[in-house]
Structure 1
Amino acid sequence: MSRLWILIFLLSLPVFAQEELEVIEVETVKDIDRFTFGDANEIPERDIETASTALIAPAIEKTPGIVTTQNGGPGGTVSFFIRGTEGRHVGFTLDGLKLNDSSNTGRLFDAAFMTSPFLRDVTVHKGPQAVLFGSDAMGGVVELKSRKGENAPETRVLINGGSFGTIDGTVSSDWKKKDHNGTVTLTRFHTDGISRLNEKRFNATEADSADITQATSSSEHKWAKKWQTDFLFSYLHGKNELDGATTDTKNDHSINDQYLVQQKTSYELNDQSVLLLRNGLNRNQRFIRMESTGPLPFEGNLYQNELVHRLELPQWGFLTGVSNEHETSSTTSVDKSFDLNSFFLQSAFKSNDFKLQAGGRADHHSQYGEFVTGSGGVAYKDFSVQYSQGFKAPSLYQLYAPVFGNKDLVPERNHSWEVSWRKSVDEWSGGITFFQNRLSNLINYSFVDNAYFNQGKFIAEGVELSAGWKSDRFEVVPTFTHQKFRENEEPVLRRPYNMAQLSFSYFPVETIELNATGRWFSSRKDIDENFQTVKLNGYSVLDIGAKKTWIRDEVGVQVKNVLDREYEELYGYSVLPFSVFVHYGHKF
């Protein structure tokens, strides 16, 4: 480790020069789209900027084919399910820094408190991305990319508010000074909330509030013609009230603090290759106070060090890297750590209408030893075939928690196939994707034995259909996903077999947008308070909105759950009823 830190120090030193500086494209060093053919959906900055809430979860929720569940209203745990995989199988990154939380039981990233005004765009990648991102990217990756002063000099003020005493405000500033530029953002969110538990199951009516504060600074600095360093600092504080398991009369609450620090130093070796060094820290501190158990502290740290080389030739591209991840977890009953050392190589070839990619990753886990994962794909014109492997190492809590822990757990695995056809012609676009995820060694919890165990396997497979039509006045995007599960040893929970979404936008003039989004989900299975499998009915939700923009001002309104449907994403938890939210933004 000492040699690694010496290398980090040397490559992090700034180098100064008097000559005019050139831009180095460091953001594309680890580019998923360049090296895989898997399906991806992008949420652009414009949609983030004009959203009626400062939270990122509602935007990701509308990504076609994604199943989202939340434990009650804002502040409750948010999970995303991609193509039959679990919520803990989705990796989250911010400018490449892993966000998954080492302090919780399954190393899940909970998006409940993450705000969005500091982001430039969000991309959801479906399918394993283990070669580039290792553990936690077994089902897919959600890439968050921050703004770095692209609109400097500019200051934004965003204010949102609406039902259930919800209000949030953001002040952000894009700045630029010679060869240095960045964005500083401060967001404050509050809601009186709704009851975490629903009235249907538990006759719950007490509202549960949530408060969030996030401060972020993201910048890039060009020290010399070939040197550039990006810095990221973020502090997130979230607090929310928690009901008990079957009653809303308790005074339980959770406090969540997340600290993110990262530097990325890039050196341009020549016109065709770039060397990137990344060092980051993702620190999570949670404090849960429950009347039944008293205070429960949780702390997790992920130290991420990575050295990556990218080479771009006329037809070939190569991405090679080594990384070290040091993870720690500390609770009242667990204080453990492990290291994951990795080497990866990803290549891509393109010639006219033909593309080819192949890659592999070798991991050495201090608990388990060696692992190898790989991916490969071929594409011709509008057709592509992609094979990917993924894995997720057990969390420290799953391994070492007293009573619940199981030191004999082995990593979860995924072998994934994807066959796609995608076509865009003028105003029209469409596509069809067949997918299969063969999941094995899945970690489950036995309520009989009160312990974690490797469940076995199941196969999730299905088809995704998408289409789109866009003109000067209209945009229509319908999508449909069907998935089924077989060879499962336990019930597959919280994932419906069918889901559909229809988004419609109308632009009477260039500066006005009227939109509507309808989503439909078929029935799904869950477990009740007695740990028995139950069936949750299917449901449909309709949201409508309107936006108006000027040169420096914008206003918007969104009505969620227009038909006031009463439904359940999770057994016993509430969802937002009919509610109205308004948005105002101004740029200086």
Structure 2
Amino acid sequence: MNNLPSFASVGSVLRIASAVTAGAALASFASAQTPATPLDPFVTTATRTPVSAAQLGSAVDVISAADLQRRQVNTLAGALNTVPGTPNFASGAMGALGSIFLRGAESDQTLFLVDGIRLNDPNTDYQLFLGGSCVSACDSLEVSHGPQSTLYGGEAMGGVIAIAAQPGTGEPTTRLGFEAGSFGTVQGTIYTQGQLDATAYVVSITGGHTENDRPNNAFDSANLVARIDHALASGVRIGATLRGFEGRYESPGDRFTNDPDNTEDESNWLATAYAEFDPSEDLHVRVTLGGQAREFVSTNPGGFGTQVTTVTNKRGVLDSQVSYTGLAGHRLTGGVTAEANHTKNDGFGDIDESQSLLALFVQDEIALGEHAWLTLGLRSDDHDTFGRATTGRATIAWQVVPEQLKLRASYGTAFRSPSFLDLYGQSSYYAGNPDLNPEEARGWDVGADFYFADNRGTLSATYFDSDYDDLIIFDFGVSPGTTANVDAARTRGVETSGRWSVGEGTELRFNYTYLDATNESNGTRLLRRPRHSGGVDVWHDFGNGFDLGVGLGFVADREDVHAATFGTIDAENYAVARVYAAWQVRADVKLRARVENALDESYEQVHGFPQPGVGAYAGVEWTF
């Protein structure tokens, strides 16, 4: 039915991925800035260097692998639902296409960074990956809000979502897990990690099946995450990562259509290899070579035959970065990124195009004093398709009350490249526009972070405001239809979040976002951007190995498109609850249970595509 690699053909996929990889990216070393007491985790996405979040002028959220494991969140979409300003909506159940609107940006204006290389560009989307991929037991997530093209190039208009496999540590351990539950769901996991002398490793393999809640709506998937790191006697550190997602989704369409036999298949593999070394005490170098191979197949049987659309994307990336800390109060970082990608799409537009780009960036992290930091950055991206884009970013952070209260602000610019379809697509009633400019964004924010004593939690609040210009639209009012830089938009609002350890063994988390997102060209609201969204999660350890948590997420006041009439409608509000519990029966065995949509809410994230009702799941883990 399609030409995707089967789950059994991992070897051939590994050869494809390894053929396009071997090398290194993103610095990792001690900051030259005056150190502050680490009030919360070190992050790398906001500066491409490891910095305590207490020193950052950017709004950044960090979700650790341990957090996800404790809350029994095993999907990427579920993990992002706990982050303020990142509402995501799926056109169906588990495995369906998903979209995210980070700070109200379009779904293709948010960059996914996976193990140091981009997952998406205007021709390579993340929608099935978001809708169906699992987060592994070694994955951590960082979300950097606001325009970030100065560090990562195109598509980082709303921000960057970075997923990274963490290195193995300590004695070798292995965990086997199995879960089963509602809607014919079964899932198994193998996770092993450890450190042997100078070599650390981690491997996570997850596979599963669910029938979902509608007829002809099954989803099968397999996920692989692997990382290896090795320290050579010469002081050079080398390593590699491999990540793969294979999924097949039976797509019945909206509830008005109920097409019984459409399928969507995706194979998405990314691999990197890196080397890092320190030529001197003040100099750190890291080089990464990465590659991506993706294939998406949509199969649509019908009365006039079966329509099959195949999209293939290939990407090769070379990223080098150097940081210098020899100048007092400064950490200077500069780098070069070279990328080549190719897309072939035999569907609408008939695309068979390639693109290369070369980017240069420089950044200075400046200690203004013992408790204040300024970061300045500039980048130039040169594409052989539409030309050059130059972006900049500045942030400032000031610990007004050291270790208790930080004020911060940032300003940045960003862009999104025109897609091959925008530039070169051809059909009997459409012609691309090779003279398009990239979409542009500029945004600023101000915020405050309060830190509880003894590292017992944080409270954060951010006001943001972003403007988007030269937005690309399809104009079918001319013949043939074409694309043009016409629209402008503005998004602004408030993001709040908090984490608080209450007494012993109790943790409270919450997030809330108010968003106003408007098409400035016609004065209408941007679709699927909720005015109000957020959630709360309470977890308690009762002792004797038993813990229990309750979560609630909500979305309110948004507009959508009616799936049958295509008119604009007021979408429904909804609140979805979950309950999860775990019992450490003995040192090597843990039982887990969770109930999703515990209140059996009837709701649709996207109009016409109902979400599953209440579902109960139970599993066991064996660690040795």
Shared fold per TM-score greater than 0.5: yes
Question: Is the counterpart of residue 580 in structure 1 residue 594 in structure 2?
Answer: no
Q: Is the contact between residue 211 and residue 219 of structure 2 (CA under 8 Å) also seen in structure 1?
A: yes
Q: Is the contact between residue 103 and residue 298 of structure 1 (CA under 8 Å) also seen in structure 2?
A: no
Specify the code of the residue in structure 2 equivalent to 1:356. L
Distance 2:129 2:473 in 1: 19
Q: What does residue 172 of structure 1 align with?
A: 191
Q: What does residue 5 of structure 2 align with?
A: none
Q: What does residue 430 of structure 1 align with?
A: 459
Q: Is the contact between residue 240 and residue 255 of structure 1 (CA under 8 Å) also seen in structure 2?
A: yes
Distance 1:109 1:141 in 2: 18
SS at match of 1:110: helix
Percent sequence identity over matched residues?
22
Which piece of structure 1 moves more, 534-543 or 41-50? Answer: 41-50
The CA deviation at 1:32 is 7.1
SS at match of 2:610: coil
The CA deviation at 1:586 is 1.8
Q: How many equivalent residue pairs? A: 560
Q: 1:214 to 1:469 in 2, by over 3 A?
A: closer
Residues 367-516 of structure 1 mapped to structure 2, 5 A cutoff: 367-381=385-399, 382-403=406-427, 404=430, 405-426=432-453, 427=456, 429-446=458-475, 451-470=482-501, 471-486=503-518, 487-489=520-522, 491-509=525-543, 511-516=545-550
Q: What does residue 316 of structure 1 align with?
A: 330
Question: Is the counterpart of residue 56 in structure 1 residue 76 in structure 2?
Answer: yes
SS at match of 1:216: strand
Distance 1:274 1:579 in 2: 50
The CA deviation at 1:61 is 2.0
Distance 1:87 1:512 in 2: 39
Specify the code of the residue in structure 2 equivalent to 1:388. G
The CA deviation at 1:147 is 3.3
Specify the code of the residue in structure 2 equivalent to 1:398. D
Question: Is the counterpart of residue 563 in structure 1 residue 599 in structure 2?
Answer: yes
RMSD: 2.6
Residues 90-169 of structure 1 mapped to structure 2, 5 A cutoff: 90-100=110-120, 104=124, 110-169=129-188
The CA deviation at 1:12 is 5.3
The CA deviation at 1:216 is 3.1
Give the TM-score of the pair, scaled to structure 2.
0.84
Say which of 280, 287, 290 aligns to 1:277.
287
Q: 1:12 to 1:130 in 2, by over 3 A?
A: closer
Deviation digits for residues 440-491 of structure 1 (CA, Å, limit 9, x no counterpart)? 1223345766654434111111112333431213222233211113425354
The CA deviation at 1:62 is 2.2
The CA deviation at 1:82 is 1.1
Q: 1:178 to 1:465 in 2, by over 3 A?
A: closer
Distance 2:245 2:425 in 1: 27
Which piece of structure 1 moves more, 450-459 or 375-384? Answer: 450-459
Q: What does residue 37 of structure 2 align with?
A: none
**5+ long unaligned stretches in structure 1:** 1-8, 14-22, 196-205
Q: 1:336 to 1:107 in 2, by over 3 A?
A: farther
SS at match of 2:426: coil
Q: 1:468 to 1:236 in 2, by over 3 A?
A: closer
Residues 220-259 of structure 1 mapped to structure 2, 5 A cutoff: 220-244=229-253, 246-259=256-269
Specify the code of the residue in structure 2 equivalent to 1:253. T
Q: 1:31 to 1:554 in 2, by over 3 A?
A: farther
Q: What does residue 203 of structure 2 align with?
A: 184
Q: Is the contact between residue 226 and residue 269 of structure 1 (CA under 8 Å) also seen in structure 2?
A: no
Question: Is the counterpart of residue 544 in structure 1 residue 579 in structure 2?
Answer: yes
Q: Is the contact between residue 501 and residue 518 of structure 1 (CA under 8 Å) also seen in structure 2?
A: yes
Distance 2:457 2:199 in 1: 41
The CA deviation at 1:576 is 2.4
**5+ long unaligned stretches in structure 2:** 1-19, 32-42, 400-405
The CA deviation at 1:371 is 1.4
Q: 1:559 to 1:107 in 2, by over 3 A?
A: closer
Q: Is the contact between residue 221 and residue 248 of structure 2 (CA under 8 Å) also seen in structure 1?
A: yes
Q: Is the contact between residue 194 and residue 207 of structure 1 (CA under 8 Å) also seen in structure 2?
A: no
The CA deviation at 1:513 is 2.3
Which piece of structure 1 moves more, 474-483 or 326-335? Answer: 474-483
Question: Is the counterpart of residue 301 in structure 1 residue 333 in structure 2?
Answer: no
Q: Is the contact between residue 107 and residue 395 of structure 1 (CA under 8 Å) also seen in structure 2?
A: no
